[in-house]
Amino acid sequence: MYDEPISETKEDIFMKKFKYYKSNKPKPSLRAVISIEKSSVEIANITPSEVIGDVRTEALGLKSCKEWQCYSFKTHPGLIFISNPFTNLGQRYWIRKCLEEYPRKPNKLNIDVDINIDDWWQTCYKDGQCNRQLQKKLRWTTLGYHHNWDTKVYTELNQSRFPEDLAELSDVVAQYLGYNSFKAEAAIVNYYHMSSTLSAHTDHSEVNLEAPLFSFSFGQSAIFMIGGQTKTVEPSALLLNSGDIVVMSKEARLCYHAVPRILPSTKHPWNDHNFRIPYEIPTFKYINDPKYLMTSMAENTDNSKWSKFDNYIKESRINMNVRQVLKENQKSL
């Protein structure tokens, strides 16, 4: 007897579902896509009954930790979902950071091989008009330890300073979930347009594979697929909306995952003008200039300054995924 045909069928399980959701002719049914907003037997609410508040939340564009809703998935141990803990103003802040600041040099961009520019966002508007072609060319930027897409290896010589505000944001989420020793050391910011996809892959380049991976979504919605540590495992499809956080920890840390489809968002919280402007300056762990953070956050209430970023995000999705590279107490690679 030959087992190969059965093996091939199993190997196709993840990709078949990926192609199904990616297809435009015919368009896929979204009936099986898991939505946190709708009750499901696959989802368990794991929000702690008692939560210790974190004074940093409002200054970072987050609601109080006591308002967060946290979920786990029975078929995917280690996968955690936090349903949009961001304020409307916070969403504007992080969208703008991902567009205006994070793609600046010395950070690495996918377009570096073709175009030598120091400031992608500024260059997009250097003639007073938006260069849509240049805007759409940006697919990713890397922060901190730069992921080498060819070797899949991090090195000490290939890194830049990790953004203080993103390190602080990641620390707040880590502390909430009990990952007290987590330290943000590398990030990939992905930029999706309505026809974009992200193929099936695992994140295994880090030295420390015990630490969780934090994924922050903004803008248009997406179908996020996650399976097991081989492509033979039946994947689930999860709807991600703007502000949602996905955490891949423990068993889920090395599972195959993908984004087969971007969907128009039914809500645009970044344009809800019910802004909560932070005034109290807390003590931060990583941010050296708290006043600059507060000023930057408040600037986003100005709709005339926000309009360029709104034009981008109304037809795009941004995803920041943050990871720890080194083991605890390890100082370098």
pLDDT tens string 281-292: 999 999 999 999
Whole-number Å distance between alpha carbons of 318 and 140? 9
Q: Which residues pair with 187 in a beta bridge?
A: 143, 322
Which pLDDT does position 11 carry in this prediction? 63
pLDDT of residue 207: 81
State pTM to two decimals: 0.93
Query: What confidence score (pLDDT) does residue 322 get?
Result: 97
**Residue 240 near residue 226, CB atoms below 8 Å:** no
Alpha-helical runs (H) found in the chain = 4-22, 88-96, 120-124, 132-137, 164-177, 290-299, 303-313
Low-confidence ranges of the chain (pLDDT < 50): 1-8
pLDDT at 328: 86
- The per-residue pLDDT for range 37-79, each reduced to its tens digit, is 876 778 899 998 788 889 999 999 999 999 999 999 999 999 9
Asked whether 42 and 73 are in contact (CB, 8 A), the reply is yes
Kindly report the number of other CB atoms within 10 A of residue 273's CB atom: 8
Burial of 37 (0-12, 13-18, 19+ CB in 10 A): exposed
Q: Please answer whether residues 194 and 220 qualify as being in contact, where contact means their C-beta atoms are separated by less than 8 angstroms.
A: yes
Scored b (16 or more CB within 10 A) or e, 63-85 reads bebeebebbbbeebebbbbbbbb
Q: Return the pLDDT at 30.
A: 94
Assigned token pair, 77: 């141990």
Residue 3 pLDDT: 34
* Spacing of C-alpha 57 from chain mean position: 18
pLDDT of residue 39: 65
